[in-house]
Amino acid sequence: MNSIFIIEIPGGVCCSRGVWTGSHHICVYMGKRGSNTLLVSGEKGTGRAREKERESAHSRLAQAPVLEKRSSVRGGSMASSHGRSDVRFADWMASLPQSMHTIPLTNLAIPGSHDSFSFYIDEASPVGPEQPETVQNFVSVFGTVAKKLMRKWLATQTMNFNSQLEAGIRFFDLRISTKPRDPDNELFFAHGLFSATVREGLEQISNFLSAHAREVVFLDFNHFYGVQNLHHEKLVAMLKEVFGEKLCPVVFAQEVTLQYLWEKEYQVLVFYHHPMALEVPFLWPGQMMPSPWANTTDPEKLVQFLQASVTDRRRKGTFFVSQVVLTPKASTVMKGVASGLRETITERALPGMMQWIRSQRPGESGINIITADFVELGEFISAVITLNYHLDDDEDDAT
């Protein structure tokens, strides 16, 4: 027997990555402009038991799913399309040809993940402080059912940090939040709902780097929710404690090559979109990592935006992120509420996105860091890494 609830809320509650999500027990009807009418149906009885089971299954960071069966990242290696020997994803930087060791990292193609931490979303946690009151009220009425609805559209990754690193991801998009009334002032990754603690994630990354001494990562702290000065100080101290001598101090971006980093044994570049960056030697200012956002659900408009952004980037001397990411509108979410972000948007747009990526070239006037949702799809990681070998080919052609 199903129960049906109807709730009237103001329109326009969908944030940049959506706040409504889908479940096989949920249906939603979008009303006229100005108000949304939601019809939520859920099974009684066994539903709560299943919810508890799922909550338990997602209780720890390390238990996050590694790869789904549809994943195209397999075997941990990349067959080169240029006739070169296979390159292990986990050590792809160390395996680049010597000619690339002195190329600035601003001129290399580097794969990254969007909302990197969202492989784990804690449905037992409160809603993030950045969410509007309408969302807070929705969750207060429907509880875990509402959070499962949100999760379908908030989770943009399936692999945990270690698995992303093993697969070749080197750029991480990180958003930090505190929990309301938390006496411990703990820091969490968050996007609508809370994820793992920041310390857990950083330690997982550090452990990988200790085992792969010639790999380098970019940590981009770009959103802070409910974070005060004492929290920033705590995060800076945590970065020092976890990474220590691996942290690369701020220098001219064009000086940062693999050879430079290897010689000094640096492995971590931290970009910090907050004035605190000006006070700490190893915090790179956020403007050194611009990441323009298309904010569209239209694949064609996204490609146009990406191409224009790369053109504008030329010769600015900074790192640069191309977000190959489609952002759902409220109407998109309503139409695909039972499917979620991956099936409704990401997988359908994948062929066109991969075509654009494969057409690009790294370099001073080309792409640099490319981020995506569900990075295991469509050979995204290997396609980005392979772009670097065109630099080698261009050099051969020039001679």
Catalytic residues: 114, 191
Residues in the chain: 399
Angle at CA of residue 232, ends 209 and 250, nearest 5°: 55
Q: Are 313 and 320 in contact (CB under 8 A)?
A: yes
Task: Report whether 243 contacts 199 (CB < 8 A).
Answer: no
- DSSP string of 208-276, one letter each residue: HHHH-TT--EEEEEEEEES--HHHHHHHHHHHHHHHGGGBPPP--GGG-BHHHHHHHT--EEEEE-SGG
Residue 218 burial (C-beta neighbours within 10 Å; 0-12, 13-18, 19+): buried
Residue found under tokens 């946690």: 125
In which element (H, E) is residue 309 found? Answer: helix 299-313
* Strand pairing report for 187-191 and 171-178: antiparallel
What are the Cα distances from residue 20, in Å, to 134, 148, 202, 335? 11, 9, 29, 11
**Alpha helices (H) in 45-132, listed in sequence order:** 46-57
Q: Which amino acid is at 358?
A: R
CA dihedral in degrees (124, 122, 188, 273; nearest 10)?
-130
Strand partners of residue 321: 369
- Contact between residue 37 and residue 10 where contact means Cβ atoms under 8 Å apart: no
CA distance 10 to 29: 14
For residue 241, what are the contacts with CB-CB under 8 A and spacing of at least 6? none
Asked if 352 and 302 touch (Cβ cutoff 8 Å), the reply is no
- The C-alpha atoms of residue 188 and residue 308 are separated, in whole angstroms, by 35
